[in-house]
């Protein structure tokens, strides 16, 4: 399936549904495919992307479309990240923010436990802030390298 055909396919799906959760997934697919169309790729790279789109079997008719296309979008984004080092906006901020929450909880329990629940809260907030700052810096690096969709 070509990029143009996949883009038109998701635009068609977007007009067919009224569910907000499905619309968000289709809009993410449309945004990603439109950004890929605007980038410069070699013929082999385009062929590789189109082969991946074929392997996702987008034109199948699943019972739960939202679940199917959400999994498909995750597979496609992972493929783009692994093959071309392309990530979406805010990818690392979200990733490091979650990791910061985990480490902040551990630090809040281990180090600040003498403050009670306040120590856990401070650990969570501090970890999330530090993680988000690190993630935003990483996102800025990726954007500067031109690897952000």
Residue 92's pLDDT band (cuts 50, 70, 90) = very high
Alpha-carbon gap, residue 89 to 127, rounded angstroms: 21
Nearest 5°: the CA angle 145, 149, 50 is: 115
Residue 118's pLDDT band (cuts 50, 70, 90) = confident
Dihedral sign of CA atoms 21, 22, 26, 29 in order: positive
Residue 61's pLDDT band (cuts 50, 70, 90) = confident
Q: What are residue 123's DSSP bridge partners?
A: none
Indicate if the pLDDT at residue 96 is higher than 90. Answer: yes
What pLDDT digit, counting tens, does each position of 23-48 carry? 999 999 999 999 999 898 899 999 99
Start-to-end CA span in the chain (Å): 20
Q: What are residue 87's DSSP bridge partners?
A: 148
Average pLDDT over residues 86-115: 90
Give this prediction's pTM: 0.81
Residue 62's pLDDT band (cuts 50, 70, 90) = confident
Give the domain ranges of the chain: 3-84, 91-145
The SS3 of residue 87 is: strand
Candidates 77, 102, 104; CA nearest to 91 is 77
């Amino acid at each position: 399936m070509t990029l143009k055909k996949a883009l038109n396919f998701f635009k068609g799906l977007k007009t067919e549904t009224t569910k907000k959760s499905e619309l968000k997934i289709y809009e993410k697919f449309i945004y990603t495919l439109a950004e890929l169309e605007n980038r410069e790729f070699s013929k082999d790279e385009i062929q590789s992307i189109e082969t991946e789109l074929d392997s996702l079997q987008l034109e199948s008719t699943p019972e739960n479309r939202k679940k199917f296309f959400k999994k498909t979008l995750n597979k496609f984004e992972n493929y783009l990240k692994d093959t071309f080092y392309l990530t979406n906006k805010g990818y690392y901020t979200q990733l490091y923010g979650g990791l910061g929450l985990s480490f902040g909880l551990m630090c809040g329990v281990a180090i600040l436990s003498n403050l009670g629940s306040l120590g856990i809260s401070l650990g969570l907030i501090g970890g999330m802030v530090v993680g988000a700052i690190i993630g935003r810096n990483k996102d800025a690096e990726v954007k500067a390298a031109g690897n952000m969709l």
